[in-house]
């Protein structure tokens, strides 16, 4: 697990990886991402923050191995994870900088919610988006109840989460889950072009525009929404059905 932050001309590049698990989000990764975004939110010299992952893919969601390791004390373990994932989402959604997610491959479950939390999302045409939550019998986390509803509208967000639709890149664009789709080989060039257009604006104008737009979209506080997510997620993760799925996953992984 690594989280690396690099800088270039008013832009911070946050790259995360969790090798061997398609960049799944364990407690360490979420904590390091939260720390990075909390620090960046206070940087007056940074106007754009880009979130990306190392190949392969973007993020396969929450790391079920973390859940399996703490089945005997799952309630406390989930609280530790959600404390840091909530901090990450709050920073992503409230930081004054423009945030950009770059998806090149699969984004599933919490990975899809994470990508959707950015102000601007660009993906390659090989990317796919998978809800994955209902398959495990849990509701969305990482602010998905907020960000997916904000991007898709309530009816389409509910459709995506309950019917478990697997979206290809073009469908994700039509639905509003991403903002730009390019061929895999053009992703870097299109990202650079988009960043240049954003950075042509003065820092004060960027921050003021984001602040005013977001102030007019909040219907309930982010704190309240994340609290509701936590309540329902923990309830779902304590059911025998969910615990059986985790034990089955662990057994399958041990034999693969």
Domains of the chain (ranges; CATH) run 2-185+220-255 (3.90.226.10)
Instruction: For residue 123, give the H/E element and its range.
Output: strand 120-124
pLDDT at 136: 85
Which long-range contacts link 230-239 to residues 24+ away (Cβ below 8 Å)? Answer: 230/79, 230/82, 230/86, 232/139, 233/78, 233/82, 233/138, 233/139, 233/141, 234/75, 234/78, 234/79, 234/82, 236/137, 236/138, 236/139, 237/67, 237/74, 237/78, 237/138, 238/74, 238/75, 239/137
Quick one: pLDDT at residue 73?
93
Asked if pLDDT for residue 99 goes beyond 70, the answer is yes
What's the pLDDT score for residue 222? 80
- Give 156-191 pLDDT, tens digit per residue: 999 999 988 899 999 999 999 999 999 988 999 999
The mean per-residue pLDDT over the stretch 80-108 comes to 96
193-243 tens-digit pLDDT: 999 999 998 898 899 888 888 776 665 678 888 888 888 889 889 989 889
Structure confidence at residue 220 (pLDDT): 60
What confidence tens digit (pLDDT) does each residue in 56-91 have?
789 999 999 988 999 999 999 999 999 999 999 999
């Amino acid at each position: 697990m690594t989280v690396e932050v690099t800088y270039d001309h008013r832009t911070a590049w946050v790259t995360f990886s969790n090798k061997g698990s398609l960049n799944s989000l364990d407690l360490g990764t979420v904590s390091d991402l939260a720390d990075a975004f909390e620090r960046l939110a206070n940087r007056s010299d940074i106007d754009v923050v880009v979130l990306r992952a190392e190949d392969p893919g973007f993020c396969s969601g929450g790391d079920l191995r973390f859940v399996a390791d703490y089945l005997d004390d799952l309630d406390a373990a989930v609280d530790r994870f959600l404390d840091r994932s909530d901090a990450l989402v709050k920073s992503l959604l409230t930081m004054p900088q423009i945030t950009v997610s770059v998806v090149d491959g699969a984004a599933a479950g919490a990975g899809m919610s994470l990508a959707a939390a950015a102000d601007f999302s660009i993906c390659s045409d090989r990317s796919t988006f998978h809800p994955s939550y209902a398959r495990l019998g849990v509701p969305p986390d990482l602010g998905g109840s907020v960000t997916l509803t904000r991007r898709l509208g309530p009816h389409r967000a509910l459709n995506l989460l309950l019917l478990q639709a697997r979206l290809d890149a073009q469908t994700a664009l039509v639905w509003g889950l991403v903002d730009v789709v390019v061929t895999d080989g053009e992703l870097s060039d299109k990202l650079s072009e988009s960043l240049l257009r954003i950075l042509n604006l003065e820092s004060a104008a960027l921050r003021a525009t984001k602040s005013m737009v977001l102030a007019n979209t909040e219907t309930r506080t982010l704190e309240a929404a994340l609290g509701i997510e936590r309540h329902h997620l923990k309830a779902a993760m304590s059911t025998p059905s969910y615990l059986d799925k985790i034990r089955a996953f662990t057994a399958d992984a041990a034999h693969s």
